[in-house]
């Protein structure tokens, strides 16, 4: 790859590692760092491309305009952070070693830096080296006053260029504006997202599931792309409508700019509109919606789950239909209709697979932006 590129730049940086290392036994400290860096590498998935590792950081990038939706990218960062925090928590719980490296592992944390700009990609040995003024900028941002001024050690820092490119301005209510000043650069305005609040929100949250004895039917398909990309397509009304063979879909009731529990997919079939209200939204795992079922008896609903399971060749999408709730006759009609339409549901999920695989192939052919 050569020439000038435009895209997202991302650095995932382990917080406090230098201080931790200075007070720890080297052998165990290196083992812990290797484990945590491996976790960060494993969570840096397409459309992100790893450039290189730099001590206690992973540097990656994503090319062009054909990137995931802004919310999906934010969720990718949050998913990585949650995995990191869970790994630290397990290390603490499972620790039987009395060395300083193991005793002090809870002092480690994680922060992210996100920028959008222009850069060149140079292949050196087995890694992609990024060069350019925007690359210099994001590295300068690693040295900042966020922690001392805002009292947070785990955060994601977005430049204004990244906010604009990802179209996440509506999520700004969850972020704090901050200004840094650098020699030769002047003032740089950034937005800071406190990741500790994400951990507190997600750590012990109870999840909604469909009990096995409430399942009426399941259909599934295997899709040749990473889970993260399937999730991104699955959340978009223009692609999701294929699962229901609707004329169009739209989303209402976003929560601070995000699709979340309480948001509604409105599904239009001619002059009729059905609602799919999100009850559970677990990025890259599953979605559960509370769906109005089109039977003659009003107020008949069912739960529909869309679950993603990583596979060797990509992801398996499993769509699960629950037994209906509501009036007795409506429940009977709904359950029978779902089973009777089994072949149609399978056809729809297979069409969804073909549609998104084709769309991704076109993006690759047109721009080469997604590996």
Residue 112 has pLDDT above 70, yes or no: yes
Residue 244 and residue 350 share a domain: yes
Strand 127-131 and strand 186-194: the pairing is unpaired
Q: Which pLDDT score is estimated for 66?
A: 67
Measured CA to CA, the distance from residue 202 to residue 196 in angstroms comes to 10
Residue 219 and residue 127 share a domain: no
Q: How confident is the model at residue 106 (pLDDT cuts 50, 70, 90)?
A: confident
How many Cα atoms sit within 13 Å of 168 on the Cβ side?
A: 27
What is residue 27's three-state secondary structure? Answer: helix
Q: Which pLDDT score is estimated for 67?
A: 80
Query: How many Å separate Cα 323 from the centre of its chain?
Result: 30
Residue 216 and residue 183 share a domain: no
Domain extent, residue 290, equals 212-367
Asked, for residue 271, whether it belongs to a domain, the answer is yes
From 202, 225, 246, give the residue that closes a domain: 202
Q: Name the domain count of the chain.
A: 2
Asked, for residue 112, whether it belongs to a domain, the answer is yes
Measured CA to CA, the distance from residue 92 to residue 100 in angstroms comes to 12
Residue 25 has pLDDT above 70, yes or no: no
Model confidence over 32-84: pLDDT tens digits? 888 899 999 999 998 999 999 988 899 999 987 668 999 999 999 999 999 99
Q: Give the residues across from 61 on adjacent strands.
A: 9, 49
Residue 226 and residue 121 share a domain: no
Cα-atom radius of gyration of the chain, to the nearest Å?
23
Q: Which pLDDT score is estimated for 367?
A: 56
What's the whole-model pTM score? 0.91
Measured CA to CA, the distance from residue 193 to residue 171 in angstroms comes to 10
Looking at residue 343, the DSSP 8-state letter turns out to be H
Q: For residue 47, is the peptide bond before it cis, meaning its omega torsion is within 30 degrees of 0? A: yes
What is residue 226's three-state secondary structure? Answer: coil
Q: How confident is the model at residue 85 (pLDDT cuts 50, 70, 90)?
A: very high
Tokens of 346: 């399978």
Asked, for residue 143, whether it belongs to a domain, the answer is yes
Measured CA to CA, the distance from residue 321 to residue 218 in angstroms comes to 6
Q: Which pLDDT score is estimated for 370?
A: 47
Model confidence over 320-330: pLDDT tens digits? 999 999 999 99
Q: Which pLDDT score is estimated for 3?
A: 73
Measured CA to CA, the distance from residue 369 to residue 371 in angstroms comes to 7
Residue 184 and residue 234 share a domain: no
Residue 145 and residue 226 share a domain: no
């Amino acid at each position: 790859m050569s020439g000038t590129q435009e895209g997202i730049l991302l650095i995932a940086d382990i917080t406090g590692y230098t201080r931790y290392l200075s007070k720890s036994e080297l052998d165990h400290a290196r083992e812990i760092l290797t484990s945590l860096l491996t976790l960060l590498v494993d969570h840096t998935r397409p459309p992100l491309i790893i450039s290189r590792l730099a001590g206690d950081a992973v540097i990656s990038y994503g090319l062009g305009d054909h990137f995931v939706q802004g919310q999906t990218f934010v969720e990718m960062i949050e998913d990585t952070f949650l995995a990191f925090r869970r790994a630290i928590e397990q290390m603490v719980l499972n620790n039987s070693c009395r060395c300083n490296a193991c005793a002090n592992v809870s002092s480690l944390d994680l922060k992210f830096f996100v920028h959008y700009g222009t850069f060149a990609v140079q292949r050196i040995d087995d890694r992609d080296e990024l060069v350019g003024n925007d690359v210099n900028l994001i590295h300068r941002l690693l040295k900042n006053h966020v922690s001392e001024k805002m009292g947070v050690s785990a955060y994601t820092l977005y430049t204004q260029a990244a906010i604009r490119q990802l179209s996440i301005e509506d999520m700004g209510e969850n972020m704090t504006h901050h200004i840094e000043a650098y020699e030769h650069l002047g003032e740089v305005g950034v937005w800071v997202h406190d990741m500790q609040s994400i951990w507190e929100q997600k750590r012990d949250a109870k999840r909604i599931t469909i009990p096995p004895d409430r399942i009426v039917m399941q259909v599934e398909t295997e899709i040749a792309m990473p889970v993260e990309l399937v999730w991104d397509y699955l959340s978009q009304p223009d692609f999701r409508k294929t699962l229901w063979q609707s004329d169009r879909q739209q989303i209402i009731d976003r929560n601070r700019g995000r699709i979340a529990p309480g948001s509604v997919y409105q599904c239009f079939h001619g002059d009729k509109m059905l609602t799919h209200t999100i009850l559970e939204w677990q990025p890259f795992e599953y979605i559960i919606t509370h769906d109005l079922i089109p039977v003659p008896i009003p107020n008949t609903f069912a739960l529909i789950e869309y679950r993603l399971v990583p596979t060797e060749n990509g992801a398996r999408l499993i769509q699960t239909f629950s037994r209906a709730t509501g009036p007795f006759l409506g429940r009977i009609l709904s359950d029978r209709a779902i089973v009777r339409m089994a072949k149609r549901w399978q056809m729809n999920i297979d069409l969804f697979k073909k549609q998104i695989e084709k769309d991704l192939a076109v993006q690759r052919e047109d721009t080469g932006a997604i590996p």
